[in-house]
Amino acid sequence: VLKDGYFMLSIDGSNVEDGSDWFCYHTSSRLIFPINFCKINKIPLLPPIRYHGEFQWDKYLLETNSVYAPKDLFQIIKKKIINPFSVGMKIEAVDMMAPHLVCVATIAQIADSLIRVHFDGWGEDFEQWIDCQSPNIYPIGWCELVGYKLEPPKEPEHDNSESTKTRSKKSNNRKSNKRKRLS
């Protein structure tokens, strides 16, 4: 725990010794969740590295001699937000893995205040979870209004645009990391 409500966390099972896999969050973050949030919202939860068998929180807590964080610590529980989005809505969204790109996107799933953003023309491996109040999602026409380049949906394999090259590099990097991240 750090000062002023900040704390550090890492992914269980990680074996990086230099701390580069640690993340700094504030207690007010809407991007950290109590146990079973994924189960309740039908979001696949990736178990810790080298965990075998079907993941169950109760069993895992016993095996690791750990204690769960109470639900009342989480902002997603304390401050309910009405999510105005619906599955199928079109938006313009920042690709958090390549934040210079704003892309044509579709809302693929809703989970409380989260939306799963599908980048049109790209596979599920490129989807990202974003809070519905994120400053990285925009209504259709935002790019045109502010004069920012909107990345169109990915074309078939013959596309040689700069955004395809950038995201193709990401694709190669992601193949080695099967974890999906909440953004």
Distance in angstroms (rounded) separating the CA atoms of residues 19 and 14: 10
Highest mean pLDDT among 19-28, 46-55, 123-132: 123-132
Kindly report the average pLDDT of the chain as a whole number: 84
pLDDT of residue 172: 45
CA distance 116 to 109: 5
CATH topology of domain 90-175: SH3 type barrels. (2.30.30)
Domain spans, the chain: 6-78, 90-175
What pLDDT score was predicted for residue 130? Answer: 95
Q: Are 115 and 132 in contact (CB under 8 A)?
A: yes
| Domain at 6-78, CATH from 2.30.40.10, 3.90.650.10, 2.40.40.20, 2.30.30.140 | 2.30.30.140
Residues 84-117 have pLDDT tens digits of 999 999 999 999 999 999 999 999 999 999 999 9
CB 50 within 8 Å of CB 13 = yes
Flag whether pLDDT at 157 surpasses 70: no
CA distances from 21 to 5, 6, 18, 154, 155 (A): 20, 16, 8, 31, 34
Whether residue 19 is predicted with pLDDT greater than 60 in this model: the reply is yes
Taking 50 as the threshold, does the pLDDT of residue 178 lie above it? no
